[in-house]
Structure 1
Amino acid sequence: MGLFSGSSGRTAFGPLPPAPHPIGVNGFYTQHTNELALRIRERKTAFSGDDFAVKDAANGQTIFQVNGKVMSLSGKKDVRDAQGVDLFTIRKKHMAIRKTYKGDDAKTGQEIFKVESSVFVMGTKLKITFKNTAGRGEDLTLTLRGDLFDRKAEITLDSGQPIARISREFANAGQIFFDKQTYVLTIAPGVDASLLLAICVCLDEAANDQG
């Protein structure tokens, strides 16, 4: 199966509608015409440092790799494609008032997205800002709201339309449920899977910073 054949599974929330236009920073990873569900391993402690693969939750194909260097020690994490080519370098901004992470282009070093974390009444909120170079080139803001520790969250556009969900559960024809060390990121058609994975890496760091 090809990279963008799409996952046939559905979460308990029901299918995500397609994005109104391509959204993200890497147009190649917006080309899936169906939902794409990625299985992600949760980093349980601040001292785990091994690399791991991010796989299609339906068929097990490796889509991305994450460099497991401990951010608090090395100052960065790397998101790579399936062949090991660097896509993003993610760093924590230590002097920021709010807990803030930035994603730099692996080739140019230019900042291409920023993730700011805050706590609100019902859980955790991440604000993601970037220039939509995969689409119209406009400045965009995404919002993640949910339970940071249970990995249960929804990512929305400013309009309120959901474009991704995070859950411990993923159901396809076999009704597969993953263990507590993994969770699933389900991404709407037309949304940059590499950017959404990078947001999950920042979510993982934020959880360990608070843990």
Structure 2
Amino acid sequence: MAQTTSYLQAQMENPITVVSPNFMAPSPVDLTIVKLMSFSGGDFNVIDVNGNVMFKVKGKYMSLHARRVLHDAAGNPILSFQRKRMSLHERWVVFRGDSSNSKDIIFSAKRSSYIQFKTSLDVFLAYNENEHVCDFKVKGSWLERSCTINAGDGTTIIAQMHKKHTLNSIVLGKDTFAVTVFPNVDYAFIVALVVILHEINRPSSQSTNN
């Protein structure tokens, strides 16, 4: 508990903004990310603890790059992300709004290594062009749906996710994830990372069809 408290205190002192400061809160934010059944295979709803829809992720049907767009509750595009073709490490590139222009890149994420026994994702902000050291890291166990998102030093946790079992998810066959975003951390950024992590770990037969 003391270790977790120190993480919370650190985030209060050092806000992390990647997408926008509009998506930050002074206390932990608990979100549920629900994968929906859709033609594109890439649709999600993001719900808060009161059942309100915070974001919607919509997949572009028949997109060659497995393109996804994150919308706010009003339907405005916040960011878009797509899989980079011919990438051994399953790199995804994230753009501001509904853009796909390189000048609008916010960050990218990729597997830390081609072969993995544990989940490990490296995240690089747009200005980190040499990529010698990642800015954020996702690590844990995808099979157990238990992962942490860390700042670049690898020790400061900024969000945690785990599998959430509900009667509705079992009946409909949905993937449902619970995510706790730490104080003063950009939760739109965290949602994008969790969706990318899900897409990277989809069976290849599903990924290549979208």
- Aligned equivalent of 2:45: 53
Secondary structure of 2:161's aligned partner:
strand
- Among 142, 149, 155, the alignment partner of 1:155 is 149
CA distance in 1 between partners of 2:36 and 2:90 (Å): 18
Sort the Cα spacing of 1:74 and 1:95 in 2 relative to 1 into closer, same or farther, 3 A.
closer
**Percent identity among equivalent residues?**
24
What's the CA shift for 1:149? 3.3
- Report the AA paired with residue 54 of structure 1: V
| TM-score computed with the length of structure 1 as normaliser | 0.74
Amino acid at match of 1:84: G
SS in 2 for 1:99: coil
Q: Give the partner amino acid of 1:188.
A: F
Structure 2 gap ranges (5+): 128-132, 206-210
After the TM superposition, which segments of 4 or more aligned residues of structure 1 sit over 2 Å from their partners?
A: 13-16, 42-45, 47-53, 68-75, 118-122, 176-181
After TM superposition, give the deviation of residue 93 of structure 1 in Å. Answer: 0.7
**CA shift for structure 1 position 44:** 8.2
Report the equivalent of 1:83. Answer: 74
Which blocks of at least 5 consecutive residues in structure 1 are unaligned? 1-12, 133-138, 171-175
Matched, 1:129 2:124: yes
For the Cα contact (< 8 Å) 1:122–1:146, is it kept in 2? no
CA distance in 1 between partners of 2:63 and 2:203 (Å): 9
Structure 1 pair 121–43 and aligned structure 2 pair: CA distance change class (3 A): same
Offset at residue 96 of structure 1 (A): 2.5
Cα distance change, pair 210–161 in 1 and its aligned pair in 2 (3 A): farther
Using the TM superposition, give the Cα deviation of residue 64 of structure 1 relative to its aligned residue in structure 2, in angstroms.
0.6
Partner deviation per Cα, 1:105-152 (whole Å, 9 max, x = no partner): 1265411110011357651101111169xxxxxx97111001223321
For residues 121 and 33 of structure 1, the distance between their equivalents in structure 2, rounded to whole angstroms, comes to: 35
SS at structure 2 position matched to 1:67: strand
Give 3-state SS (helix, strand or coil) of 1:203's partner: helix
Q: Indicate the RMSD between aligned Cα atoms, in angstroms.
A: 3.2
Cα distance in 2 between the residues matched to 1:185 and 1:143: 16
Letter in 1 for 2:83: K
Structure 1 distance, partners of 2:144, 2:185, is 24
Cα distance, 1:207 vs structure 2: 1.0
Given candidates 3, 24, 35, the residue that maps to 2:17 is 24
Highest relative contact order (Cα 8 Å, sep 6+), 1 or 2? 1
Provide Cα deviations, 1:40-93, integer angstroms capped at 9, x if missing partner: 124689x6537442100x211111111033576463100011101001110101
Q: What is the aligned length?
A: 185
| TM-fit CA distance, 1:37 | 1.1
Distance 2:44 2:196 in 1: 15
Q: Quick one: distance in 1 between partners of 2:35 and 2:53? A: 16
CA 1:177–1:37 in 2, change beyond 3 Å: closer, same or farther? farther
> Does the aligned pair in 2 maintain the 1:71–1:77 contact within 8 Å?
no
Superposition pairs for residues 57-206 of structure 1, below 5 Å? Answer: 58-69=49-60, 73=64, 75-106=66-97, 109=101, 110-118=104-112, 122-130=117-125, 141-159=135-153, 160-169=155-164, 179=169, 181-206=175-200
Q: Distance in 2 between matches of 1:198 and 1:72?
A: 18
User: Does the CA-based 8 Å contact 2:59-2:67 persist in structure 1?
Assistant: no
Q: TM-score, normalised by structure 2?
A: 0.74
Compared with structure 1, are the counterparts of its residues 194 and 94 closer, same or farther at alpha carbon in structure 2 (3 Å cutoff)? same
The residue matched to 2:194 in structure 1 has which SS? Answer: helix
Partner of 1:6: none
